[in-house]
Amino acid sequence: MALILSTSVWAQVNSARADEVAGMLEKTDTIGWQRGLGIGLDFLQLLQINPKVGAGEDRIQFGGVSSFFANYKSNRLSWDNNGTLLFGVQRLGSGFTTIGGNRIKKPYQKTIDELRLISSFAYQMMEDSKWSYAINAGFLSQVTPTYPGNFLSDVTAEGQNPIARFLSPAQITIAPGVKYVQDEHFSVQISPATVKMIVVADDDIASVAGDSSLQVGLHGTGWRSGTDFDNTLFQLGGSIRALYQNKYFNDRFIVNSDLTLFSNYMNEPQNVDLDWRNEFAFEIYKGLQLNLIVNLFYDHDIPVQETDFDATNGVVSNPDGSPRLTRALNIVQTFSIKYNYIF
């Protein structure tokens, strides 16, 4: 006997689409505050009872994404605020498994956990000018603890500490400068004195080596030994942020792109950090879309796990079994069918 139930519901608004969402809301005046909130749920469940040989295994996955924006405009002043929270967990299979020599119930693993907040303030230099004085502030972290193996708790029962949690790490950026707005589709901000900080507030996490030969901690802060480490990495440099958004084919194909480049004056300025978020959507019916997201991220100070699709779990391991860390381009791609609902 086999029983299979699968349900997937999407209702999300990506932060990169704040201007598009604002246009969907009913409003009578472009001066003053415009606000919006999107809430999404992602749920997939598969149950097999007495499964056929080779038919797979149980699966349960759930999570959600919520997005908000609050924009203010008055004459030459504009203030845009938006945030996105993505979170998801999954469990493959049922019953028990063995991890670290311990027999435990199949645990849940984290699939995504990201909190991103961006605030942008601009004041036009002159009436009807395309140029503005501007400042951007950004915050990026996660919400819940993550343990080795991307588990939500210590499944080994050996007192393991988390490898990441809220504010460990966090990335904080403050970028004052000038902004050029070509039209409603394209703008670019130039910030020659940008402050960028990596914060690892938890000492237990900051004390873990990422690359001991380079004296770098697990999340890019300074590390010299398990008792001699830094909780913050301060960077001063220049940044450029370019935004593009447009609609094609009778407004059914939507493109949003947000590119930020940063060069650290204080250390190897030739190594430019990259944060490039892209979203492509095709509207099948009102609110129902095919959605493709492709994000590229590179930070010379933040090590990432080295991918090898022929290796166990898809990543290269050190002799002790831990993932090998390296400087490389991080690529995240998702494809989904989603439904947008704004209220």
Domain count, the chain: 1
Q: Which of 47-51, 117-121, 316-320 has the lowest mean pLDDT?
A: 316-320
What average pLDDT is seen over the chain?
84
Could you write out the three-class secondary structure of the chain?
Answer: CCCCCCCCCCCCCCHHHHHHHHHHCCCCCCCEEEEEEEEEEEEEEECCCCCCCCCCCCEEEEEEEEEEEEEEEECCEEEEEEEEEEEEEEEECCCEEEECCEEEECCCEEEEEEEEEEEEEEEECCCCCCEEEEEEEEEEECCCCEECCCECCCCCCCCCCCCEECCECEEEEEEEEEEEECCCCEEEEEEEEEEEEEECCCHHHHCCEEEHHHCEECCCCEEEECCEECCEEEEEEEEEEEEEEEEECCCCEEEEEEEEEEEECCCCCCCCEEEEEEEEEEEEECCEEEEEEEEEEECCCCCEECECCCCHHHECECCCCCECEECCCEEEEEEEEEECCEC
The pLDDT score that the predictor gives to residue 31 is 79
- Per the structure, the complete domain to which residue 142 belongs is given by 70-80+110-338
Whole-number Å distance between alpha carbons of 81 and 310: 43
Q: What is the pLDDT of residues 176-193, one digit of tens each?
A: 999 999 999 999 999 999
- Does some domain include residue 133? yes
- Does some domain include residue 242? yes
- Does some domain include residue 38? no
- Does some domain include residue 302? yes
Instruction: Count Cα neighbours of 72 within 13 Å in the Cβ-side half-sphere.
Output: 9
According to DSSP, the residues that pair with 334 across neighbouring strands are 293
Q: What are phi and psi of 18, to 5 degrees?
A: -60, -40
Q: What are phi and psi of 218, to 5 degrees?
A: -60, -30
Q: Is it the case that residue 72 has pLDDT exceeding 90?
A: yes
Q: What is the pTM of this model?
A: 0.82
Q: Is it the case that residue 318 has pLDDT exceeding 80?
A: no
According to DSSP, the residues that pair with 35 across neighbouring strands are 70
From residue 179, alpha-carbon distances to 41, 186, 243, 244, 310 in Å are 36, 11, 11, 14, 46
Q: Which of 128-137, 288-297, 319-328 has the lowest mean pLDDT?
A: 319-328
Note whether 271 and 300 are within 8 A (CB): yes
- Does some domain include residue 209? yes
By residue count, the chain amounts to 343
The pLDDT score that the predictor gives to residue 105 is 86
Residue 82's nearest CA partner among 10, 142, 21 is 21
- Does some domain include residue 44? no
Note whether 315 and 305 are within 8 A (CB): yes
Q: How far is CA 170 from the centre of its chain?
A: 11
User: For residue 46, what pLDDT band results from cuts at 50, 70 and 90?
Assistant: confident
